[in-house]
Amino acid sequence: MTFFQSLSAAGFAATAISYGPGRMGFGLFVPQFTQAFSMSPATVGLVSSTGFAGFFLGLLVAQVFLNRRGPEFPVLTGLAAAAIGTAIVALAPNVPVLATGVFLAASSAGFAWTPFNDAVHRKIRDVDRATALSEISTGTSVGIAGAGAVALAMVVLGVHWRACWGVFAAASALAFLGNWAALRHVEKSPEPGPDNGWRDVLHRAALPLFAIAFVYGITSAVYISFAADRFAQGGVPGLPAGAAPSLVFIFYGIFGLVGLLTGWVRDAIGLTWLLRALLLAAAGSLALAAVLPGSWSGLVASAGLQGINVMMTSAVLAFWSERLFPSFPSLGFTAALLATATGSVIGPAIAGLVSGGIGPGAMFYGTAAIPLATALVLQARVVVERPAVAAA
């Protein structure tokens, strides 16, 4: 088996687990957790923010592990965290234990993606790298849709939510074994890291990248945390009780496959207009959750727009950071994702308080205003795609 085949398959499995049940699983099962643990909206927001704090920490630690040990160690650490975290959730007797499991499971998303940029860059021919990275990123959409399918099976077959999380733990363990087999022959990069470390990515030209990433973190995390329960409470006609959350994430993942066309769309309309369109998609998705929580059209359109926004914005952050920091693409991408993670920690915590105090509709409208305002103020002159050192 070639490195192209093994790394593509391993990365697909790693992102499917870490960004499916790992990063999205808590939001998918909020209705069940709320009932089992008597959680208020504020508590839901706090636990969700705890998970995204794990994502933030995972990104930081993964970069250190990558520089010192190569890609195998951070990826396997992340998948081990996913397996242990999902198992803890499956057995959780109370909210603190649940939050611990969510923290570990979500940290896998920080550990398990960026190291593959390094492995692909060094082990796969230039002509095949874009294809390999696309296949790896596709695991995100498939993992989210797969997690939604497991949740739908829970409703249709009458399976307990704890059994679903047991399935997630078993799948994480299998992904761990597959990645161990694929990555054990990928050594640490012989090239030294950037001379000044994190200071190398702190350029004025990169501020729009980090601002977009921060807004993306807020909006995507609020949606992940609260949209499934919003549609469950809305009562979509013809759906069995409890089926709405799973369908939200299934449509989210399916529409997210449009992310594979990100490069083509960017070439057609330019990066600035692509960013504006994605910000408007995020705003529209959140507004639809506010105004049409009890309709099929609202569910499909809201979940679909959010899936497109999340997957295409993820791709934008990857290639935009690479163009700004071509000498250290992994560190640049990690910096962008740290901005995303910061927004993801802050967003749900505040949204939970607003939802509990004013109502979920107002919370979704308020969150939608953030990407809408960003789209209105975004100027083409600040969206730089040449190396940041040259642009500074």
pLDDT category of residue 239 using cuts at 50, 70 and 90: confident
Look at residue 227 in the predicted model and tell me its pLDDT.
95
CA dihedral 255, 259, 262, 263 (to 10 degrees): -140
How far is Cα of residue 103 from the mean position of the Cα atoms in its chain? 14
**218-229 average pLDDT score:** 95
Look at residue 4 in the predicted model and tell me its pLDDT.
85
Q: Is the pLDDT of residue 264 over 80?
A: yes
* Range of lowest pLDDT (125-134, 170-179, 350-359): 125-134
The rounded mean pLDDT for the chain is 91
In angstroms, the CA 79 to CA 77 distance is 6
In angstroms, the CA 123 to CA 290 distance is 46
Look at residue 187 in the predicted model and tell me its pLDDT.
82
* Residue 185 per-residue DSSP state: T
Is residue 187 left, alpha or beta, with left meaning phi > 0 and alpha meaning psi from -120 to 50? beta
Residue keyed to tokens 């390094």: 118
Look at residue 326 in the predicted model and tell me its pLDDT.
79
**How do residues 11-25 score in pLDDT, each as one tens digit?**
999 999 999 999 999
In angstroms, the CA 174 to CA 172 distance is 5
CB 257 within 8 A of CB 308: no
In angstroms, the CA 6 to CA 115 distance is 15
CB 279 within 8 A of CB 375: yes
Helix 41-69 crosses helix 329-357 at what angle (to 10 degrees)? 170
In angstroms, the CA 202 to CA 377 distance is 22
In angstroms, the CA 373 to CA 211 distance is 12
Of 300 and 117, which is predicted with more confidence?
300
* Range of lowest pLDDT (195-199, 207-211, 249-253, 330-334): 195-199
Of 383 and 190, which is predicted with more confidence?
383
Look at residue 196 in the predicted model and tell me its pLDDT.
57
H/E stretch holding 286: helix 271-291
Contacts of 59 (CB under 8 A, 6+ apart): 110, 111, 114, 334, 337, 338, 341
CB 108 within 8 A of CB 101: no
Query: Which of these CATH numbers, 3.40.640.10, 1.20.1250.20, 1.10.357.10, 1.10.230.10, describes 3-391?
Result: 1.20.1250.20
Amino acid, single-letter form, for residue 62:
A
The proportion of the chain whose per-residue pLDDT surpasses 90, expressed as a percent, equals 66
Overall size of the chain counted in residues: 392
Surface-to-core class of residue 73, CB atoms within 10 Å of its CB (0-12 exposed, 13-18 middle, 19+ buried) = middle
In angstroms, the CA 142 to CA 1 distance is 23
Amino acid, single-letter form, for residue 43:
T
pLDDT category of residue 188 using cuts at 50, 70 and 90: confident
Helix (H, G, I), strand (E, B) or coil at 186: coil
**311-333 average pLDDT score:** 84
